[in-house]
Structures are given as C-alpha cells and as structure tokens.
Amino acid sequence: MDDLRASLIQQLSVYSDNEEEFLRHVEHLAGTQGDRIFPVLLNIFTQLDFKVEEAPSIWRNLVKHREKMMASMGRPVNLTTAICDYMLTVEKALIQPKLVELNLYEETSHYSKCDRLTGLYNRAYLEEALKSEASRCRRYQSEFSLVFFDLDHFKTINDTLGHLAGDSVLIAIANLILSEKRAEDIATRFGGEEIVLILPGTQKYSALIIAERIRHKIEYMNLYFEEQMINATVSGGIATFPLDTDIAGELLDCADRAMYRAKHRGRNQIVLFSDDKRHHVRMDWMGPIKIQELGTRTLERPAEGRIKDLSFSGVRFESDQPLAIGSRIQVEIPLLSKDQPLVVVGRVTRLMPSGSGYDVGATFLHFGEQDRAAIHRQVAG
C-alpha cells in the first residue's frame, strides 16, 4: 500500500501542470490495480479514510463535480480546489481544507526528493545539493568533502538470498549512516547500492575519519534475513572541493574513481582521491584512437592519435595536434570493438613535444557505468 501511495504522489508531481492527464492515469491504474487505489487516492487529497466499497463512486462523483464547477465558472479549476469544495458542500466530510492542502504539498514535496526504499535523499536532490554547497564554498572561501560508498558483493546477496534480502541490507546500512552522520551532513542514495554523503565544511582527512567510522560499524553489523546472517561491507572514495576540483559535477566523478580504487585493492576500505591519482589501475593496451576537442575550438574532424597509457582515471596518447592544457576533449577508444568504441570526455592535463607530434595526458571527467565496466574487463583480462 505504501508503494501505491508513493506512486500516486509521484504521478501527482509529474502531472502537476496537466491534471487531465493525471485523471487518465488514475483510470488506467484502476484498470490494472483495481478499486483499491481509490481509498488511497482520496486519503492523499483529504487525509480521510474511506472504505474500498464507497471510494470509487466518491472519486468519480467529485471528478464530475469539478467538471460542473469549470462549466459554471468558465475557467479551469484545479483538482485540489474541486475536491475541497465537494467534500465541504456535498459529502460534508472535510473540516480544515487548508490543512489538508498543506499536508498534500508537504507529502508530495517529500516524495519528490527522497528515495522511497531507504528514506535517504535521491539523486536529483544530490545534484542540487552539490551545486548549492559548491556555491556556498566559493562565496565563503570554504571547502566540503564527498564520500562515495558502494556495497561490496551486493549482486551476490541478491542472487543467493533474493532482492528482498538486498533491500533489507540497503535499508539497514542507510539507517546506520543516518544515525552516524552529523546534523549538517546530507546522505543520498545515488542509485542501486551506491550511497553518497556530502560533508559540509569538512577537510579531506576529517572526512576520512567519518567515513572510516561508518565503514567499521557496517563491517561489524549483525544483519539477518529470515534467520540467515549476512556479512556486509562497503568500499568508499573521498574527494574534496575545491582541492580536487572546483567543478561540483566533477567532484562526484573524483570520489567515484577513488571508490573503484578501493574495490581494486580488495574492498572494505576507504580511499582518498589524491591517493587514487598516485596509483592508477593501468592496462597494457596500445592502439589508435580519435580525439575531438570540445568547446570554442571544436575541430571539424576528429584527430588521430595512439594510446600510450590507459587507466580508470585517464589516458596518455600521442597526437599530431597540439591540445591546450585545460581544454575538454572527447576520446574514442576501440577497446573491445571498432564498431562500438569506448567514448569518454576528459580534460587535457599534460602537453609535451614528442618527435614530430605531442605527448598528451588527459583526466577523464564523465565516465559511465558501461565505460568503467569495459576498462574493468580489460584490466581483469
């Protein structure tokens, strides 16, 4: 029932500017879920409880009431207004419509920024919080750190014990993080088994102390699912603004790369991004690549190059074209297939003359899950 309620509230938010589409969605949902949706729907709008036997007719009557109101007034009437009027004048079941409207707003707002399973903030909220915290730090010449946690062997838990077991582990770890974090810290579910913690006003090594405390407590948690003990651990990466990057979106990538370094080292540990930069996971792969400079000096055609060194963090290659340090480039790497090359965006950090060309180094900026998996498979052989 909670999932149904959350789904309806989410659709209310999605169709906030198109209530006719929301009403069509309700009828479609009733066709698949049955009449049980109507008591939930009415409770969302009125905070009142209705029996499943009476709720469908009440809902459809109030929809007709809204249509009559629009016809008589000659203008659109929003659903909340129509429901309040119907409940006050027809059903006479509503006493404080303003309070109901406020409750609906607060509940809709909560679900729009929170993850339903864990209660943590969601990815959309994380992105906004990162921008806000970066702006605050620029204004006050301050800093903040970000911890990127990833549950170890989470797929194994799901495969052996089922997804309900995996969900229970996620919930338990989320609750532990909520209890361990400071009041000003922001805990979010980035996706799947990934949890990101924003630590305002926190230097890198202070962030390490906080992250290590959380990691240690997770390692020694007593987790059970249907009397089956589950041993859970997390790997984590830490990056700090503006020490590692002064671009909010890139900070997440920095912490993510540090987290994957922790995985490569054996899991159940925390790695600092500065440490990650000194210990690249490299592969013995040399081959032709294509380079496209992005921005104001975009080349008409990609330049040709040849890789000298490739890692999770970046690439070094030979190029006939001089590329400005700090410029953004797109690199096509035929790592597994010429027809489907790995395409990543990076920033040039090194440019040295080399024979008739140039030795260029670039750090990856935007690195997706499939890209990382492709390099991981190459590293693993």
Q: What is the 3-state secondary structure (H, E, C) of 321-347?
A: CCCCCCCEEEEEECCCCCCCCEEEEEE
* Cα 256 from Cα 325, distance rounded (Å): 24
Model-wide pTM > 0.95: no
Output DSSP code: residue 302: P
At 248, the pLDDT band (50, 70, 90 cuts) reads confident
Residue 352 DSSP label:
E
Q: Say if residue 93's pLDDT is above 60.
A: no
pLDDT tens for 306-338 read 887 777 667 888 888 888 877 888 888 887 666
- Distance between CA atoms of residues 213 and 254, nearest Å: 21
Distance CA 50, CA 56 (A): 10
Task: Give the neighbor-by-neighbor strand order of the sheet with 270-272.
Answer: 186-191, 194-200, 144-151, 234-241, 270-272
**Domain positions in the chain:** 2-113, 123-278, 282-380
- The whole-number average pLDDT for the span 39-50 is 81
CA 161 from centroid of its chain's CA atoms: 25
Architecture of domain 282-380: Beta Barrel (2.40)
Report the pLDDT value the prediction gives residue 312, as an integer from 0 to 100: 66
Of residues 220 and 366, more confidence is placed in: 220
Alpha-carbon gap, residue 351 to 348, rounded angstroms: 8
> How many CB atoms are located within 10 Å of the residue 93 CB?
13
Which CATH number applies to 123-278?
A: 3.30.70.270
The answer to whether the Cα torsion of 259, 263, 269, 271 is positive or negative is negative
At 213, is the pLDDT very low, low, confident or very high (cuts 50, 70, 90)?
very high
At residue 4 the predicted structure's pLDDT band, cuts being 50, 70 and 90, is confident
Percent of the chain at pLDDT > 70 equals 81
- Looking at residue 107, its pLDDT comes to 47
Average pLDDT of the chain to the nearest whole number: 81
Identify the CA nearest to 101 among candidates 82, 128, 117, 124: 82
